[in-house]
Structure formats: C-alpha cells, structure tokens
C-alpha cells in the first residue's frame, strides 16, 4: 500500500513574503519538500494544494500534481487540516496512508519519511510526527517572577541524567487516512514520535530562519539520501 503525500502551500505569508518559493541552497522550499517526498520509498503520489499560480508552477516543475485550493481554505485562519480534507475529496482514489508535509521545513530526510510510513503501515501507530529531542529548561513569567515549567528549579539535572522531551518540528505527519477523516485533526489514536536529526530540524518562520537555512544547506544537502524514483500521476 503506497502512501500519498500532500503539501499545503498557500500564497499568503506575513512573516516571509513568498516564503514557499523562497530558495534555500538554490532550490525553492516547495521544490525541496517535493524532492524529499519523491525520494521516499512508500510514497506513490505527491500533491501540492495551493491557491498561488507561482507555487503551482514551481510544484509542477518539481514533479508534483497540483490541487487548486479554494480561497476560503487559503486564509490566515484556515487550518492545514481543512486543506488536507479538501485534497482527499478531490484527488483520485483514497489512499490508506496520508503523508502531510510542510514546505517550510527545508531539510526533510526521505529516510525519516520512510520510517514513519512503515510504522503506520505495520499498525504500530496511527500517526507518526517529526520531532527532535530537547533537554532545554523552560520558564514562564508568573506573579512578577519566573516559574519553572518542565523541571524542578531547585534541582539542576545534568543533560545525561534528564529524560528528553520532544519538540515537534512541523516537517511531516504520517497518518492513517481513515482515522484522519474521522478525527478531523492530525493527532488521533496511537501517536508515535518520529525522531529526526537536530541539525535539520528547523522551520522557516522568519527572514532570520531563511538566512540560517541558507547557511546550513551546503552541509545538510551533502548527506546521502534515498535515490529518487518515479511517482504516480493522476
């Protein structure tokens, strides 16, 4: 059973105008996401859901199928889930596994996608999402002072002695399609963590993020990846 990847990518972006087609290492973000999906064993078809002609053109050039997203699903307040459910309604067939990929994560390793798909296909998990381990000490302001959130402020554990927590990267979510349709949200049933490398676990939200990704691209893009293979067309 091959999975289907959907990459929602609307045209409007307040923090970084034109973000989804912004180049990192000379490659538009949307094209990088498509390349990762196309290189992953287990993904049969790749779709981009967009309201933007420039994104659509870049997506087709990178080998993806394009879904025209209605304007009401491309606003600042529209959820990714709404775009995914729309894509499932208009695309041919009904995939057993849906891979939700975000173009704002420029360094998605196809091997991580493959591992997550295998875990959902085997029945181990209903959902697997990308995350990276963290040992950061979180604090919040409370009553004019600071309060520890995820640790005991009176006891400073060494990194090796503390249990890691996991930060969601936003890069990908692999889901049983039927469960997603029923829940209407990306987390349901048995949720598993797909641990990804910290170096590439970044999301583009600001111009600074884009500059940092450009600096890292030469290092990360040099890593070995799965060889691309042909994908289904509708």
Buried/exposed code over 75-88 (b: 16+ C-beta within 10 A; e: otherwise): eeebebebbbebbb
* CATH numbers and ranges of domains, the chain: 3-131+167-220 (3.90.550.10)
Average pLDDT over residues 186-191: 98
Using left for φ > 0, alpha for ψ between -120 and 50, and beta otherwise, residue 58 falls in alpha
156 is annotated as an active-site residue = yes
pLDDT at 199: 82
pLDDT at 224 over 80: no
Lowest-pLDDT choice from 38-42, 85-89, 181-185, 226-230: 226-230
pLDDT at 227: 47
Q: What is the DSSP letter of 87?
A: H
pLDDT at 161: 78
Average pLDDT over residues 197-214: 92
Average pLDDT in the chain: 91
pLDDT at 232: 53
pLDDT at 222: 84
pLDDT at 230: 47
pLDDT at 41: 94
Average pLDDT over residues 192-211: 92
Average pLDDT over residues 220-225: 77
pLDDT at 142 over 80: yes
pLDDT at 13: 75
Tell me the pairing of strands 65-68 and 97-101.
unpaired
pLDDT at 225: 56
Helix pair angle (53-61, 29-39), 10° resolution: 40
Average pLDDT over residues 202-212: 93
**What burial class does residue 14 get, using C-beta atoms within 10 Å of its C-beta: 0-12 exposed, 13-18 middle, 19+ buried?**
exposed
Q: Which residues neighbour 112 within 8 Å (Cβ) at sequence distance 6 or greater? A: 130, 171, 172, 194, 196
Choice among 38, 156, 158, 181 that is catalytic: 156
pLDDT at 110: 96
> What is the distance, to the nearest Å, from the Cα of residue 91 to the centroid of all Cα atoms in its chain?
20
pLDDT at 233: 46
């Amino acid at each position: 059973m091959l999975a289907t990847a959907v990459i929602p990518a609307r045209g409007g972006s307040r923090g970084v105008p034109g973000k989804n087609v912004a180049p990192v290492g000379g490659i538009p973000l949307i094209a990088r996401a498509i390349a990762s999906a196309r290189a992953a064993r287990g993904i049969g078809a790749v779709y981009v859901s967009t309201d933007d002609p420039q994104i659509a053109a870049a997506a087709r050039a990178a080998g993806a199928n394009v879904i025209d997203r209605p304007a009401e699903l491309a606003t600042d307040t529209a959820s990714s889930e709404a775009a995914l459910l729309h894509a499932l309604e208009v695309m041919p067939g009904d995939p057993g596994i849906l891979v939700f990929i975000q173009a704002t994560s420029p360094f998605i390793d196809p091997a991580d996608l493959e591992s997550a798909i295998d875990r959902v296909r085997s029945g181990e998990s209903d959902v697997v999402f990308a995350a990276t381990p963290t040992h950061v000490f979180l604090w919040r302001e409370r009553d004019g002072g600071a309060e520890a959130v995820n640790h005991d402020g009176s006891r400073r554990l060494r990194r090796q002695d503390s249990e890691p927590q996991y930060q969601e990267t936003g890069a990908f979510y692999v889901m049983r399609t039927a469960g997603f349709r029923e829940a209407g949200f990306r987390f349901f049933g048995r949720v598993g963590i797909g641990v990804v490398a910290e170096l590439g676990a970044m999301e583009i939200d600001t111009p600074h993020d884009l500059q940092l990704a450009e600096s890292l691209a030469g290092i990360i893009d040099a890593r070995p990846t799965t060889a691309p293979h042909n994908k289904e067309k509708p």
